[in-house]
Every structure is written in C-alpha cells, then in structure tokens.
Structure 1
C-alpha cells in the first residue's frame, strides 16, 4: 500500500471511487470509508453521513428520520434497514444510490448544523417524515420536537396548512401532540387514553392535604383518584424500585392510586387495559372502543406489518434491490 493510501486510512476520511484494498468499508457504489476500530455506533453513523455528503449536491441537507436522529428526537420502532434521507433545492441531477433517498424540495431558510452536519429546518423535517410515517409514529416525533423546543405550535401550524404532501397528516399529529410528554411510551399511553375517550392530565403535580408537593405523575385521570404511568425497564432496577415504592406511598397519602403499564400492555393487552380502566371509571365496558387503537397500532411502526410497509415503501422509492444490507 502506498503512502497516500496509508495517510487516508490514518485520517479516516471517506473516499469517493473504487477501492480494492483491505481496511475499507463499502458504504455504497463508489463510496468507501476506512475502517475505524473501537468506534461506537453513534460515531460510525456520523462518519457515514459525512461520507454521503461526497455524493450529494453542495446545498443538500439531511431531513426526515436522518435529521430527527441527529437532533436527538424520539424515533418510532423503525425497520431494520433505514435509508439516509436528504433534500436539495438544486436543479441539477439528484443522486441515486442504494441506501440514499434524496428529494428535490423547496429550500427553507431555517437550515442548520448538528455535529457539523447540515440538517433541514425542524418543520421541514416533520413535514417530510409525515409523507411516510403513520399517525402514531408522527405524534411521537412531534412530541419530542415540541419538548426540546425545536418547534412551537405557531411555527408548526403554517406547515400543517401548507397544502404540501404530508401536511394533512402533520396537522392531525399536531392536534394530538403534547409538549409535556417525557418519553415516547408516555406519549403512546396518552394516545391510548384518548382513543378510549378517557380524559387525562399529563405531568400532573400532586400535593397533599397540607399543600406540599408529593409527586409529578405521567397521567392523572381527571375526576378520579387514579394516576396512570408508563414503567420502563429502569423501574425494575433496585435503586429506582425503592424510590418508586416511597413515591407510591406518598401518592396514597394524597388519596391517589397509581397504576403502572408497560409496552407489552399497550401493544398486546389493550383489551385488559380497557377493562381495568372501565371499572375505575364505573362505566360500561365497550370493546368496540379498541378498534381505533388497533387501527393506529396496525398502521404504525409499532406493529410488524407497519414496519414492513415502511421498509417496502422506502425500498420502492430507493429502487435498488430488496435489501440495503446486500447493496451497500
């Protein structure tokens, strides 16, 4: 190997062209990266995106799921293979490569940099994602963007009524979103209550009889002594479990009863959840209420069918084979 090739490997810079030497990873046709040992997944993904810029127009920015991940937003349960999404306002040729979907769309003045990589404005990112994602997936992403302050309701409203592709679904997602959500599964739990016609107050502050703060709960079922919360894996760890038990006692002292739910409840035992909640509310159990929730989950990436739909859509748009793992 010559000195120039050794220097390129040392610098770990991407290479556009054909490389037939060891020590390189093929990202796509004519696009290679020197292998970087002992690098974490996040760093490698950033290197991949920096490499993709070699084949993108100079004004191109990342958008859709790619930009959302860079911005640190919550993402839905994506299929195994997800393309890189970019957009350009250039009138020239749009690059076509396996694993890359580059669209020619109107440019926004709100583009910026994240980790040194160009990303589209948050509103454009959400609008582009709305063309592909199901409603449940999109609400999770909108909640996250609102929570971190990357978008606000006023700025989003303009895009919701723009008439552009995806604007109708984005409008529906914005109407169902809430910036107070603190996790994607908390968003899912709130949406389940909405589908079941159960009125809840997110991030409700509980105070005792003396007016002292006791706890902040995920969801308070209005007009009842019940609070519903999502319990992630961290709640099973010993230190967190001890704190949870003390917190549950404080809630009982304040006259409230806590009910915890997990992802498996929402995805596989929604009927049992509804029965419990109907008993709490003292209302007649109507299984027909579940139809809307089942439809939302079935269309979303939280179901195997929804993930296949996304995968097939992106493979069709990309137009290269049936498996990016084989083409790049």
Structure 2
C-alpha cells in the first residue's frame, strides 16, 4: 500500500505502518512477503521498461533466499536510481527477456540465469541454476543456446561455464557448493545422490560419489548434529563401509578453514582406489 495524502507524517511514523521503501508503506499487521516487496517496487518505483532480476527473480521462481535489497535491471539508457532498498543494474534488456509473474514484472528464467552468471561468482551462480533446472523452469540446453546467442557479448562465456557445472540432482545449496568447489579444484565430477546397492539390494544414498572407485563424500551439515539423525547416519555409514566403500565426511568448519586439505584427502583416496582397479 502507498500512502500519500490519506495519511499524515505523524500517522506514518506510528507503529500502525511499516515502511517498505521511501514513500511506500504497508499496514504493520500484514506479513510482507518477498513477492509483496517486488510488487511494490514494480507498481510504484520501477520504470516501465525495468524488471525484477537476479537473486530476487530467482527467489520469485522458488530458488534461493531473497536478498535484503530487491535486485532490478533497467536498460542502459535509463537514469533510474539510486533508491534505498534496491540493487540497480544497468544492462541491455529486451522485452522478450521479461514476463509478468502474477503482477510482478520479472526477468524470464533463462534471462535470470544470464544475470546471475554476470553478477555472482560461478559457485553461487550454479547453486541457483541447480534449483531452477531441477524445478524445470529452464534446461541446460536453454542456457547454452541463450549464451551462444550472445556470443561476443561480454560475459557470455560465464553462463556457458556455469551451465556445464549444473546438476539438477543436487538436493541442497551446500551440496551444490561442495560439488562445484571440488570440480574447480581439479577433481573428477562426482555423481549426485548416488544409490549404493549390494547384491541388488539398497544399502544407502550418498551426497556425492565416484562409483567406479567406490568413494563417497558426505556433507555433514548442522542438521546431522541431532542425536537421532547422527544415529541414523552412523548406522548407514556402517552399511556403506560393509559394501567396501570409502566415505569421507566434511563439515562446514572444514570447508571454511581447510578445504585444500580435504581436497587432498579426496584426491589421495581416488589415487589409492585407482591402483586397485
């Protein structure tokens, strides 16, 4: 809701109203969603030829968390901004790259992926592309076609690079980050959510695996710390080890403080198993 003459400055400063953006207020009793904020931006702030983009667009499509500032893209010729609460990007923007999503003017899924590749590092780009591809909003072929259609344009190879790393089998952002970082470190590309079997019977499903070497990596996120989950994980680990697999565990702290050391452990395990083949 936008308030002008209907509310006095004193009323707007009261607890009855919440400021969304400068000059735009909402009833404080309402639960304001990311879509509500994007709708307010499109309705009251954004030029008619601009659009919600980047991480904000991805969040509208169900990928990732919404950033505090709403990301928007406007044509290069636009003189829009700056506006508190908006992250404004200037770029070439064709009308074919924009769609109406329940009243919000937003970049299409494939254009959203293009912008993510331009504005984020490759790891964080792939995290969101994994989700968008898994949700079938876009395909890897769509991304490669779009990027090649912009061949010669600055940044077109960034989307190609990200597309080659996409894996819709990833089930969480931490898993996507780990997979991409391992590949960037020069390790063979692992299989996501691999099902281990013995004599045709299910044994376990692991986050990442190199099946030919019987090596798996498990990302021990904070949810694994719960006592019942830890019990299930360790019982599952015993079954996997009994199937002659090597399972390497990595924690968030290890990823933060000693990722290079973990990479060397995985590399050593792969070399050891390669000698046995």
Moved more, 55-64 or 198-207: 55-64
Query: Distance between the aligned counterparts of 1:243 and 1:70, measured in 2?
Result: 35
| Gap change, CA 1:232 and 1:19, over 3 Å in 2 | farther
User: How many Å apart are 1:47 and its aligned residue?
Assistant: 2.9
| Aligned with residue 94 of structure 2, among 102, 106, 109 | 106
Query: Distance between the aligned counterparts of 1:189 and 1:89, measured in 2?
Result: 35
* Structure with greater strand share of residues: 2
Q: Does 1:185 find its partner at 2:171? A: no
User: How many Å apart are 1:97 and its aligned residue?
Assistant: 2.1
Give the SS at the match of 2:170.
coil
Q: Do 1:19 and 1:32's aligned partners in 2 also have CA atoms closer than 8 Å?
A: no
| Gap change, CA 1:274 and 1:94, over 3 Å in 2 | closer
Query: Distance between the aligned counterparts of 2:26 and 2:232, measured in 1?
Result: 47
Give the SS at the match of 1:27.
strand
Q: Does 1:51 find its partner at 2:33? A: no
Correspondence list, 1:157-168, <5 A:
157-161=144-148, 162-163=150-151, 164-168=153-157
Q: 1:212 maps to what in 2?
A: 201
Correspondence list, 1:1-328, <5 A:
13-15=1-3, 20=9, 21=11, 22=14, 23-29=16-22, 31-37=23-29, 39=31, 43-52=32-41, 53-58=43-48, 60-74=50-64, 82-87=68-73, 94=80, 96-100=82-86, 101=88, 103=90, 105-108=93-96, 111-113=99-101, 116-161=103-148, 162-163=150-151, 164-199=153-188, 200-208=190-198, 210-282=199-271
Query: Distance between the aligned counterparts of 1:15 and 1:98, measured in 2?
Result: 18
Give the SS at the match of 1:149.
coil
User: What is the CA deviation profile of residues 281-310 of structure 1, one whole-angstrom value per residue up to 9, with x for unaligned ones?
Assistant: 347xxxxxxxxxxxxxxxxxxxxxxxxxxx
Query: Distance between the aligned counterparts of 1:93 and 1:282, measured in 2?
Result: 57
User: Any stretches of 5+ residues in structure 1 without a counterpart?
Assistant: 1-12, 284-328
User: Any stretches of 5+ residues in structure 2 without a counterpart?
Assistant: 273-277
User: How many Å apart are 1:125 and its aligned residue?
Assistant: 0.8
Instruction: Report the TM-score, using the length of structure 1 for normalisation.
Output: 0.70
- Structure 1: 4+ residue segments shifted above 6 A: 89-93
Q: Do 1:139 and 1:176's aligned partners in 2 also have CA atoms closer than 8 Å?
A: yes
User: How many Å apart are 1:109 and its aligned residue?
Assistant: 6.1
For the aligned residues, what is the CA RMSD?
2.9
User: How many Å apart are 1:95 and its aligned residue?
Assistant: 5.5
Q: Do 1:228 and 1:259's aligned partners in 2 also have CA atoms closer than 8 Å?
A: yes
User: How many Å apart are 1:106 and its aligned residue?
Assistant: 0.9
Instruction: Report the TM-score, using the length of structure 2 for normalisation.
Output: 0.81
Q: Do 1:24 and 1:34's aligned partners in 2 also have CA atoms closer than 8 Å?
A: yes
Query: Distance between the aligned counterparts of 1:75 and 1:166, measured in 2?
Result: 24
User: How many Å apart are 1:241 and its aligned residue?
Assistant: 1.9
User: How many Å apart are 1:206 and its aligned residue?
Assistant: 0.8
| Gap change, CA 1:258 and 1:25, over 3 Å in 2 | same
Q: Do 1:64 and 1:128's aligned partners in 2 also have CA atoms closer than 8 Å?
A: yes
Query: Distance between the aligned counterparts of 1:205 and 1:44, measured in 2?
Result: 38
